[in-house]
């Protein structure tokens, strides 16, 4: 759910239209993610064998004993939220729950098989399904047809932080602190509870709920933190030096991205912005230049950003130290977890016209492919197909 799709298993932002991007390193492995008003340079991704080898024989679902198997016939399309090379994202309702809206992400199964992305999709599905954090988007259903994969998630109708930041130009210190505190707890949950490296933190992947609180989405680039990880992925402006250098990655890559995020929220622009938006220039700036702070940045914010963006990942501040940093001295982390702090802004719900409603039809006559074992999930009865 973000403004550009680096892999077909990325969750795309469900509240905004999407625009195409292309890989700056290896276009054969890059999927297009669309967003109508993103101004980011192209994302990049380059997979290695350590990302996992696809095995056709391991992705067949067994028959389910459930009296009803969720399918596309259970949903009514309200509108198209975004389209991309790998598929589309739709705003839908369940025929049994007509007042509840969902974001239905449709992935072309041919893209999954062609690019060895089954492991990524299954990890994304498990992350969304198992999450128990108020700051992470939740999965409601997942199913597949002979040609497509469907992930049906809660619909976050307030848009993403990227668009909101562009509207406000830049945030006040307190507003930036509010948003960063919720992002920190989301990462804490991912790193320590789910044992994941997120690897794609940026404003486009941070959605705003109607109550003004945040939810992180887009887990297509997530990786098990206990496995070796060296692939080049993510958005250039948010990529840590070790990612650019194709070195082994740890959760420290997410800490670096936090530093970039805080800087951008307070300044209104990236610390690595270049006029040409060239990925090569951005990467060169990340590797060779130090962050230059605007004069209005406080000493506390400069100190925290500096510690989060140390080029050596082993010297970077860790999450527990971030929570204790004087930048957050007035923050009660238990209150953050309970959503007790009032959000600085309330989101506006996206409107749509009733005449856009239409039934979703599926063609079964094109390139039927094997199923992905263990994909099916139904939040209503907590049923999982194995």
In angstroms, the first-to-last Cα distance of the chain is 26
- Catalytic residue, chosen from 42, 74, 188, 200, is 200
Q: How many whole angstroms separate alpha carbon 83 and alpha carbon 93?
A: 19
Residue 119 DSSP code: H
> CA-based angle 149:205:103, to the nearest 5?
40
Quote the CA–CA distance of 53 and 82 in Å, as a whole number: 29
Neighbouring C-alpha atoms within 13 Å toward the C-beta of 13: 30
| Residues in a beta bridge with 104 | 90, 152
The answer to whether residues 37 and 16 touch, using CB atoms and an 8 Å cutoff, is yes
Q: Measured between alpha carbons, how far is 151 from 100 in angstroms, rounded to an integer?
A: 16
The helix/strand count (H/E) of the chain reads as 10, 14
Angle 233-235-238 from CA coordinates, rounded to 5°: 105
DSSP 205: G
Residue ranges of the alpha helices (H) in the chain? 109-114, 118-130, 161-168, 173-188, 241-244, 252-267, 279-288, 299-308, 319-324, 333-337
**In contact, 9 and 2? CB cutoff 8 Å:** no
The DSSP letter of residue 376 is -
Radius of gyration over alpha carbons of the chain, in Å? 20
Catalytic annotation present for 200: yes
CA dist 307 and 217 (Å) reads 26
Q: What are phi and psi of 246, to 5 degrees?
A: 60, 40
Residue whose tokens read 């049923």:
383
Residue position matching structure tokens 């409603």: 357
From the list 181, 190, 135, the residue with the least C-alpha distance to 329 is: 181
- Residues marked as catalytic: 200
């Amino acid at each position: 759910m973000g403004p550009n799709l680096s892999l077909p298993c990325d969750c795309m932002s469900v509240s905004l239209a999407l625009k195409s991007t292309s890989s700056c390193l290896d276009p054969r492995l890059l999927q297009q993610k669309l967003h109508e008003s993103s101004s980011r340079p192209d994302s990049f991704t380059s997979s290695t064998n350590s990302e996992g080898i696809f095995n056709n024989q391991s992705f067949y679902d067994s028959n389910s004993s459930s009296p009803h198997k969720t399918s596309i016939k259970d949903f009514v399309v309200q509108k198209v939220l975004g389209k991309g090379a790998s598929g589309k994202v739709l705003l839908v309702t369940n025929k049994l729950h007509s007042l509840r809206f969902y974001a239905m992400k449709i992935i072309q199964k041919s893209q999954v098989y062609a690019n060895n992305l089954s492991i990524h999709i299954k990890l994304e599905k498990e992350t969304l399904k198992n999450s128990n954090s108020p700051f992470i988007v939740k999965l409601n259903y997942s199913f597949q047809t002979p040609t497509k994969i469907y992930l049906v998630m809660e619909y976050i109708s307030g848009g993403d932080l990227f668009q909101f930041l562009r509207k406000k130009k830049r945030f006040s210190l307190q507003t930036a602190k509010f948003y960063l505190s919720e992002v920190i707890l989301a990462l804490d949950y991912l790193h320590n509870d789910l044992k994941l490296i997120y690897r794609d933190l940026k404003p486009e992947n941070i959605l705003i709920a109607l109550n003004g609180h945040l939810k992180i989405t887009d887990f297509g680039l997530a990786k098990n933190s206990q496995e070796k990880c060296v692939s080049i992925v993510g958005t250039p402006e948010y990529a840590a030096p070790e990612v650019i250098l194709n070195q082994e990655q740890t959760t420290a890559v997410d800490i670096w991205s936090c530093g970039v995020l805080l800087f951008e929220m307070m300044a209104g622009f990236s610390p690595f912005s270049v006029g040409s938006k060239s990925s090569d220039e951005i990467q060169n700036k990340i590797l060779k230049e130090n962050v230059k702070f605007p004069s209005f940045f406080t000493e506390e914010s400069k100190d925290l950003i500096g510690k989060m963006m140390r080029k050596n990942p082993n010297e970077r501040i860790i999450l527990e130290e971030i929570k204790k940093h004087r930048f957050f001295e007035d923050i009660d982390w238990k209150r953050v977890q309970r959503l007790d702090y009032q959000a600085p802004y309330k989101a506006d719900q996206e409107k749509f016209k009733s005449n856009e409603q239409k039934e979703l039809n599926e063609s079964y006559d094109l390139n039927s492919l094997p199923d992905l074992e263990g994909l099916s999930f139904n939040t209503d009865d907590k049923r999982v197909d194995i």
